[in-house]
Amino acid sequence: MKKVDTIEALRMARATLAGPVGFVPTMGFLHAGHLSLVERAKAECASVVVSIFVNPTQFGPNEDLEAYPRDLPKDLAMLEAAGVDLVWLPTPEVIYPPGFQTWVEVEDVTQPLEGAKRPGHFRGVTTVVAKLFNAVEPDRAYFGQKDAQQVAVIRQMARDLNVPVEIVVGETVREPDGLAMSSRNNYLNGEEREAATLLIRALRAAKELYAQGERNADAIRERMRAVIAAEPLARLDYVSSAHPETLVELETIDAGALLSMAVFVGKTRLIDNLVIGTK
């Protein structure tokens, strides 16, 4: 497994890889969710590139950039064991050199949900992912359904900017009790970790209501709110029942919906989602 940091070294190493090349961008502190994307890339591509970069521009001023968990030796051991060919570890100066002044902004699909609650977040995401794509030039790039809006935003960006990459989406990997794996789960204390199952409990309760025939999106959202309200350690940020691609809130669910939410458990902000009614 080759490790590089500069763009020049990355490009030289990339040029030696057999295609198709699969790419998994990450912020490190890897878990089984990341590894499922790496394994899928391994299965579908001749070579696999992983980047680890905690992108400062996608964090808001009051978010957890400084506290974001890091464990590079463990990450590298996991990637080596997974058979990754090339790991790119850029520093912030490599991605944002002095004088940097070009940003990538996707419009409508970044406005609701995470975009509304985290101003500037997706501008940071699309700018860094565009830069990563330009440097790595992957044939396929792998993203997790866990970050459903991110998938929609990156698909839109790739389409609008004619980036010749296929976007592949991997299912959300969960702990045995249903909590979606996330590097941020590391912030939870024991009590909060137990309470954190409320996201998947709320999503499954809403899915069950839908299965019983409920099609009113407000009723579905209300079901999720009720589960969250019952947990004293939790504070709702948003719940949504939206069109799976445009992410516009629905009135009636007649052709599938993305159920999603953000909830603070203690000080930790967790997100999760389920798609209903499309199969």
Residues that bind ligand AMP (CB under 6 A): 26-27, 33-34, 36-37, 143-144, 146-147, 170, 172-173, 180-183
Closer residue to ligand AMP (CB): 70 or 267: 70
Are the C-beta atoms of residues 239 and 117 closer than 8 Å to each other? no
Q: Kindly write down the DSSP assignment for every residue of 9-73, as one continuous string.
A: HHHHHHHTSPSSEEEEEE-SS--HHHHHHHHHHHHH-SEEEEEE---GGGS-TTSSTTT----HH
Closest C-alpha to 152, from 24, 273, 30: 273
Closer residue to ligand AMP (CB): 82 or 181: 181
User: Using H for helix, E for strand and C for coil, what is the string for 146-197?
Assistant: HHHHHHHHHHHHHHHCCCCCEEEEECCCECCCCCECCHHHHHCCHHHHHHCC
Q: Which residue bears the tokens 């970050």?
A: 147
69-73-77-78 Cα dihedral, nearest 10 degrees: 0
Partner residues linked to 273 by β-bridges:
260
- Count Cβ atoms below 10 Å from residue 267 Cβ, excluding itself: 11
Nearest approach, Cβ of residue 222 and ligand AMP (Å): 27
Q: For residue 45, which phi and psi values (nearest 5 degrees)?
A: -130, 160
Closer residue to ligand AMP (CB): 30 or 276: 30
Closer residue to ligand AMP (CB): 144 or 217: 144
Nearest approach, Cβ of residue 99 and ligand AMP (Å): 26
Q: Which of 31, 34, 121, 243 is catalytic?
A: 34
Nearest approach, Cβ of residue 38 and ligand AMP (Å): 9
Closer residue to ligand AMP (CB): 88 or 221: 88
31 noted as active-site residue: no
Q: Amino acid letter at 3?
A: K
Closer residue to ligand AMP (CB): 157 or 253: 157
Nearest approach, Cβ of residue 252 and ligand AMP (Å): 29
Strands 140-144 and 257-265: unpaired
Nearest approach, Cβ of residue 122 and ligand AMP (Å): 13
What is the rounded distance in angstroms from the CA atom of residue 64 to the CA atom of residue 73? 21
Nearest approach, Cβ of residue 145 and ligand AMP (Å): 6
Taking each continuous run of H as one helix and of E as one strand, the counts in the chain are: 10, 9
Catalytic annotation, residues: 34
